[in-house]
Structure 1
Amino acid sequence: MKKIYSILIITLAVAVTTVSCSKESLETSPTTAVSGDGLFVSATAAMVPLNGIYRSMYSAGWSTTGNTHQCFGITAYNLMADVMGDDHIMSGQGSGWFWYDCTYNVKSRYTSGAWRSYDLWSAYYKWVANANYIIAAEETMEGLPSDVNYVIGQGYVIRAYSYFMLIQSFARTYKGHESDKGVPIYTEPSAAGTEGQPRATVQQVYDQIVADIEKGVALLK
């Protein structure tokens, strides 16, 4: 498990660092909203939605109420995972930040559309959906092979990381629960009429994660 997480973090970090350090990769077009026409026609064009995914990772407001106090992007989800782990103890409630993640016993926080569980689910599945659009263009995207691989590889790693965080948050641990219900798997671009998928097994989700990691790492070498 730690190996999977380490590979994901290192691969994403290298990709982001490369983007931030290259003058040629600076994008002046807005990354919050772009036209669908020709969006993935080339590796250069695809950098816009790819950068948009990274930008959204530190954005707030994925929950229905835009609760920025509790839900402020990927940092909130990482802190949530820390306080829910066995190696972190909160001895006092303080101002209430992350206290409910630590105590596990406030059902309303996990069934509401305004708190972190809803926020986390919405965010990671949005990143899965966006990554799927990038990955789907693998065979048709124009550009140098190295540039295309650079974009598509990040799509695979983003999808792997998203499913890793989803399965950690919404299913039981892998060991001994391989056939238990995990989370729904989507590997194709979604549209308004896309039919929802049932929960895959824990084993199936981890198989998808490993396959995406291996493909992403191979493309980014």
Structure 2
Amino acid sequence: MLDFKKNDIMKNLKKYIVYSMLIGSLASCDDELDLKPISEETAASAYATGPQIQAALTGVYESFQSSDYYIWDRVIYQDVRSDNYYAGGDNPEIFQFDRVEVTPTNSRVYGMWGNVYNAISKANVVLENAPLVEERITEEEREHIMGQAYFLRAYHYFTLVKNFGGVPLYLEFINSPDPSVTRLPRASQDEVYAQILADLEEAVIRLPDDYGDDASENKARATKGAANALLAKVYAQMPTPDYAEVVAHADAVINSSAGYSLLSNYAELFSGNNYNNSESILEIQFLGGDEGNWAPQMHLPPSISGDSWRKFVTPSVDLVDAFDAEGDQIRKNATILFENVTWIDEYWGNSPNSSVPFAYKWKNASAWASADNEYLLRLADIMLLKAEALNVLGQTAQAEQIVNTIRDRAELDPLTQEQTSSQSAMRDAILKERRLELAQEAKRWDDLIRYDRAIEVMNNVDDVDLSTGQSVNYNVTEKDLLLPIPQDEIDRNPNLEQNPGY
């Protein structure tokens, strides 16, 4: 990274990480936290040189690798909470997501809030200090560092606003315990989206298309392509979408000099041997061993994981039926693996040795230390978003071409005349295509919200609990479209208002 070896950066990070943990997430710290011993002079001297501010930036990226939310819970928030996967396992708080009955005291929601605000706090440190650094830094390096920090702050606020609606906007590093500074009220949803767009526009200006020839570096760090991809997603997801902007930013990715292109073989995306490929725009990087990914161990079957306990994130009957109805064996086999198990599964078999499907997009458990990366942004997602926007803009034929390109890779026939006969039919076809293409990649709940289909879809899922023989009534209402603000945060910050219905 900017001519510094990773090991050197990690050494420089030690003091930084301790420091950032002390001041980390103001939204999750104790009211009595005393910040006075950490003086402004200490903060300034910690980031006086290029290597030091680069180490601080590395600390922002580290939040992807250390946060339970980004490692694993985002799949729970998006796929388990939707019609794609069941909770599996034995965790009552994950069962809440499965049944769409999340409570304000759910510790996974509290942990996610704190993890994400901690990452925002670290990004603010970089944005405030990078302009002041004078030693051992070029102007190009400074611009790249700031561009990445703007991107990362935007990414994290996008995570928050999608899940909670309006949230407090902390745009400066907090070095005061004054409640007027630390206990901000919720900004409106529109205000948060406006800030995300502003940060991403700053990122696009400053970021390069690539950092050279090292693919692992180009996919590990935010680039102009990543910023444009996120802009496309933001313009599509915001309460009043701007579909012309979705197309413009998707085209900026598709036509980028970074050379993004679909892999010819869908399965190679998830084999564990082809990360940082041409289709990838941004990935969470895991090296294995001490820097490994523990999430695959939670999903994979005993034949791969080497253990015998019931696994989490079980593909749903509805998802398997969707693959089968489409005859989509290529993406199904890359996404799901069936195996006989000794435990009882309430949706797939209420007797031992039933065949149960497993989440399979990560293939290597490696004893809690997998080197499997996680895609945050990849080209097929952005292409389908462009198709979605083109269809809304009345360019259904062009949207059809894009969807058929995605289908062709999966060796599926082109969309039928019935599927493309109207904007409404095409819209449904695109939503289905996204489901099959992006299952287990933490996209489904966002898609259902964006299509205004979450309540309809979830209340029409035909799940039967085999342990009781009764149909499952998800009973999703308007309240459930957003998560509750964590109760612990409301207790600490009386200026926070709970979402309606909780």
* 1:125 to partner: Cα distance: 0.6
C-alpha distance after superposition, 1:68-122 (max 9, x if no partner) = xxxx3512232123225645242x6443483322222142xx324xx21111100
C-alpha distance after superposition, 1:154-210 (max 9, x if no partner) = 111110011000111112xxxxxxxxxx00001111124142211001000000001
Residue pair 2:131, 2:142 contacting (<8 A) in 1 also: no
Residue pair 1:156, 1:215 contacting (<8 A) in 2 also: yes
2:51 equivalent in structure 1: 44
1:127 has 2:119 as partner: yes
SS in 1 for 2:132: coil
Residue pair 2:123, 2:150 contacting (<8 A) in 1 also: yes
1:219 has 2:206 as partner: yes
* 1:31 to partner: Cα distance: 2.1
Residue pair 1:56, 1:73 contacting (<8 A) in 2 also: no
2:74 to 75, 78, 81: 78
User: Cα distance 1:187–1:37, how it changes in 2: closer, same or farther (>3 A)?
Assistant: closer
In the alignment, the residues of structure 1 paired with residue 7 and residue 204 of structure 2 have an alpha-carbon distance, to the nearest angstrom, of 24
In the alignment, the residues of structure 2 paired with residue 39 and residue 145 of structure 1 have an alpha-carbon distance, to the nearest angstrom, of 19
2:159 to 165, 174, 185: 165
C-alpha distance after superposition, 1:122-169 (max 9, x if no partner) = 011111111111111243222211111121111111100110001111
Map 1:8-23 to 2 at 5 A.
19=1
SS in 1 for 2:167: strand
Residue pair 1:133, 1:189 contacting (<8 A) in 2 also: yes
In the alignment, the residues of structure 2 paired with residue 53 and residue 127 of structure 1 have an alpha-carbon distance, to the nearest angstrom, of 6
* 1:55 to partner: Cα distance: 2.2
Q: Structure 1 length as normaliser, TM-score?
A: 0.69
1:55 has 2:50 as partner: no
1:118 to 99, 105, 110: 110
User: Cα distance 1:192–1:219, how it changes in 2: closer, same or farther (>3 A)?
Assistant: same
User: Cα distance 1:53–1:117, how it changes in 2: closer, same or farther (>3 A)?
Assistant: same
Q: Which amino acid aligns with 1:54?
A: Y
In the alignment, the residues of structure 1 paired with residue 205 and residue 7 of structure 2 have an alpha-carbon distance, to the nearest angstrom, of 26
Residue pair 1:136, 1:189 contacting (<8 A) in 2 also: yes
Unaligned runs of 5+ in 2: 20-42, 209-502
Which piece of structure 1 moves more, 186-195 or 159-168? 186-195
In the alignment, the residues of structure 2 paired with residue 30 and residue 45 of structure 1 have an alpha-carbon distance, to the nearest angstrom, of 7
* 1:220 to partner: Cα distance: 0.9
Residue pair 2:148, 2:203 contacting (<8 A) in 1 also: yes
User: Cα distance 1:94–1:129, how it changes in 2: closer, same or farther (>3 A)?
Assistant: closer
Map 1:166-181 to 2 at 5 A.
166-171=160-165
C-alpha distance after superposition, 1:27-61 (max 9, x if no partner) = 4215243374522223321111211222232225x
User: Cα distance 1:87–1:23, how it changes in 2: closer, same or farther (>3 A)?
Assistant: farther
1:203 to 163, 185, 190: 190
1:33 equivalent in structure 2: 15
1:98 to 57, 79, 94: 94
Unaligned runs of 5+ in 1: 1-18, 61-71, 172-181
SS in 1 for 2:187: strand
SS in 2 for 1:80: helix
In the alignment, the residues of structure 1 paired with residue 199 and residue 81 of structure 2 have an alpha-carbon distance, to the nearest angstrom, of 26
Residue pair 1:185, 1:197 contacting (<8 A) in 2 also: yes
* 1:218 to partner: Cα distance: 1.3
Residue pair 1:83, 1:98 contacting (<8 A) in 2 also: no
Q: Which amino acid aligns with 2:116?
A: Y
1:145 to 118, 126, 139: 139
* 1:25 to partner: Cα distance: 4.0
Q: Structure 2 length as normaliser, TM-score?
A: 0.32
Q: Which amino acid aligns with 1:141?
A: V
User: Cα distance 1:59–1:197, how it changes in 2: closer, same or farther (>3 A)?
Assistant: same
Superposition RMSD on alpha carbons, in Å? 2.4
SS in 1 for 2:133: coil
In the alignment, the residues of structure 2 paired with residue 99 and residue 23 of structure 1 have an alpha-carbon distance, to the nearest angstrom, of 46
